[in-house]
Amino acid sequence: MKQEITFIQREQLKTKPDTASLGFGRYFSDYMFEMDYHSDLGWFNPRITPYEPLTLEPSSMVFHYGQAIFEGMKAYKTPDSSIQLFRPEKNMKRLNDSCDRLCIPRIDEEFLLEGIKQLIVTEKDWVPNGEGTSLYIRPFIFSTEPYLGVRPANQYKLLVILSPSGAYYGSQLSPVKIYVEEQYVRAVIGGVGHVKTAGNYAASLKAQEKADAGGYAQILWLDAKENKYVEEVGSMNIFFKIKGEVVTPRLNGSILPGVTRDSVIELLKYWNIPVREEKISIEEVFAAHQRGELEEVFGAGTAAVISPVGELTWKDQSITINGNNIGQLSQDIYNELTGIQLGKKEDPFNWTVKVTEVEV
Amino acid sequence: MKQEITFIQREQLKTKPDTASLGFGRYFSDYMFEMDYHSDLGWFNPRITPYEPLTLEPSSMVFHYGQAIFEGMKAYKTPDSSIQLFRPEKNMKRLNDSCDRLCIPRIDEEFLLEGIKQLIVTEKDWVPNGEGTSLYIRPFIFSTEPYLGVRPANQYKLLVILSPSGAYYGSQLSPVKIYVEEQYVRAVIGGVGHVKTAGNYAASLKAQEKADAGGYAQILWLDAKENKYVEEVGSMNIFFKIKGEVVTPRLNGSILPGVTRDSVIELLKYWNIPVREEKISIEEVFAAHQRGELEEVFGAGTAAVISPVGELTWKDQSITINGNNIGQLSQDIYNELTGIQLGKKEDPFNWTVKVTEVEV
């Protein structure tokens, strides 16, 4: 039985920010989707309600024991002025995977996606249409029960907030400098690295500070057990093109299964370009470069889509990849994925979902 | 330069709960200590203010990227009706260690401790004096800045809330059943296991659920790299008495440096009982039991003080320790520590700090 989504109107709409100065994650739209959970009631009271401050007890468990998970998605304006999402069902599924690992009650994926669509229809004027812009969608769930015992909470809140955004890494594709971190680790097998929980990001900040201080854009994380195998880059998955073949670390329980990662793999298969998911050591990457076989390196994630890596530093060795230029394959994948996302290219995979088709 | 602590009076005081039904972490006193941070101002506006709900933006970074740390301490009522703390300077120092690892701006330890004392003086009638009761003190800091980019926040809130509490594990010392976890891990070297951050607790819930389902009180965590060495138990550090000597895992960067752990070690030294901090494998523990040399096992933490372990299960082996009775040493340490904490025994270590001495 589907629940009815209530609509609570706000008195006055906000002034929309100038598209040129959007940046990322700074402005929020007029409405949000909200739903509560109580162990006696399940998920209840789904509503589209004014974006406004929350009221929470100081003892709310999220502040103390960190049961907090999220997703990141985007809505795009197509040339015919319709609005579409990119593989949103993957985000809904991953949200539930995060729920499972963090002992948070699962949500009805179809229902939440319908709520998100209704929210976007309500906020259709907030989807920007400048080059590289999109409406960033942030679904998140956190524990609210006022209690200091360590156990899964009995009360939660689910919110979906919308933020009109420019490109995450600036407005155009340009190679970044990456630093291989050896002291700090992001995640370990048996931990929570394979799901999107708040604590993973908190734990990553210290290493990112080190990277910033050294003039690097991002960190390349190694596995926590042997400090040897490549895991992921900052907030992206990582791909290496070696002698015409593309390699990306195999999902092992500590790597986040990115939607863009999966899309890159599917696209490469469609193009008949060899792609393998396997354990790859940082030593192998540097050896491939020594042999002149490391042709391209790029990150893949919702925020940047594709982020070419121009320089990679590990211990005291720095290597320049493809002369610090954007690789042809990186560019092709970027063009194809963003083309599909923006409705400028055909979508042979049926990845896009029109929002405007929803009945409200 | 010390800041002035403002006092904001509430209109009506709450009705205090019955001492017999306190439980843990469920009731909160009339006032809390609050202080804010902004990168332009540093820590500012320290105040003792009514305990009431907080107002936070849905985009507050804590919900998304989990910069959240805390401490746990207790205030005790002594037989002469004064109030005292136990080694509070250790908690203040550890709070700053947590700040450092999580990229949260450090606090002035002396000033915060003074604020906590003033708060407790204000709330002196909330310190319960039944057997096993105390006033639980929860200082915590979390990011508040409304922003979705992944980086350390520029705005934080520090709160100290008070909760009159019975004993965490029930009202009397009794042996617990512990289960050695092999699938999930708590922390890894290079991560955040050595500090008190919210995400550590969120990550531990899944294994605790497994333990609960099997009828175990707590989990014994092994190291994440080799799944071999003992780390800690649920929310406590762990000690083994083997052939008259006491062994506890050495602090290695993934174990929490407990204040009670440190106090147990100091006490044993004072008593001339051999105590060693070293890497100890779960195999060694079981082998010692086979040889008839494993005399006692106990956890040590602020909540339980000492928690004797009566049964330990690893894979398909279960061992009973000391006939599932409270060990003499466990009992002696418990009596000595709680005696000092409650002001019923002499304090040769100068561990206790009278709260009523503070000038307000």
Tens-place pLDDT, residues A185-244: 999 999 999 999 999 999 999 999 999 999 999 999 999 999 999 999 988 999 999 999
pLDDT in tens, B224-274: 999 999 999 988 999 999 999 999 999 999 999 999 999 999 999 999 999
Q: A104, A136, A188: best mutation site toward chain B, by most B Cβ within 10 Å?
A: A188
The whole-number pLDDT of residue A296 equals 98
This complex has an ipTM of 0.97
Cβ within 8 Å, pair B209-A152:
yes
CA distance A264 to A306: 9
Average pLDDT across chain A, whole number? 95
Chain B: residue whose CA lies nearest to A101: B206
B203–A28 C-beta distance less than 8 A = no
Is the pLDDT at A105 greater than 60? The verdict is yes
Name the segment(s) of chain B with CATH classification 3.20.10.10.
176-341
Per-residue pLDDT band at B179 (split at 50, 70, 90): very high
Q: Quick one: DSSP state of residue B358?
A: S
β B176-181/B218-222 pair status: parallel
CB B311 within 8 Å of CB B324: yes
Model confidence over A1-56: pLDDT tens digits?
568 999 999 999 999 999 888 999 999 999 999 999 999 999 999 999 999 999 99
Q: Does B189 touch chain A (CB under 8 A)?
A: yes
Closest residue in chain B to residue A63, using alpha carbons only: B68
A252–chain B nearest CA distance, Å = 14
Residue in B closest to A187 by C-alpha: B191
pLDDT over 70 at B193, yes or no: yes
Sort out which chain A residues have CB atoms less than 8 A from B224's CB and list them.
188-191, 224-225
* Structure confidence at residue A130 (pLDDT): 82
The CATH 3.30.470.10 domain(s) of chain A lie at: 6-166
User: In the predicted model, is pLDDT for residue B70 greater than 90?
Assistant: yes
What is the full DSSP assignment across A309-346? EEEEEETTEEEESGGGS--HHHHHHHHHHHHHHTTSS-
DSSP string, B168-185: TT-SS---EEEEEESSS-
pLDDT (mean) for A158-183: 87
Distances (CA, A) of B150 to A62, A206, A302, B64, B327: 18, 12, 14, 9, 49
φ/ψ of B16, rounded to 5, equals -75, 145
Q: What is the DSSP letter of A113?
A: H
> What CATH number does the domain located at A176-341 have?
3.20.10.10
pLDDT at B360: 43
Look at B73 and A131; give whichever has higher pLDDT.
B73
The beta strands (E) that lie in A199-325 are given as 218-222, 230-233, 237-242, 245-248, 275-277, 294-301, 305-314, 317-320
A289: pLDDT strictly greater than 60: yes
- pLDDT for B20: 87
Whether B169 has a pLDDT exceeding 60, the answer reads: no
Is B176 in CB contact (< 8 Å) with chain A? Answer: no
Helix (H) or strand (E) holding B232: strand B230-233
Which chain B residue's Cα is nearest to A221?
A: B190
Predicted confidence at residue B235, as pLDDT, reads 84
Would you say residue B94 has pLDDT above 90?
Answer: yes
Fold of A6-166: D-amino Acid Aminotransferase; Chain A, domain 1 (3.30.470)
* pLDDT mean over A104-120: 98
Please tell me the predicted confidence (pLDDT) of residue A360. 44
Q: How far is CA A158 from CA A43, A126, A308, B256, B331, in A?
A: 9, 21, 34, 32, 46
Average pLDDT over residues A119-134: 93
Q: Which of A58, A199, A209 lies closest to B202 in CB terms?
A: A199
CB-based contact (8 Å) between B205 and chain A? yes
Contact A152 B198 (CB under 8 A): no
3-class secondary structure, A57: coil
Distance CA B230, CA B314 (A): 12
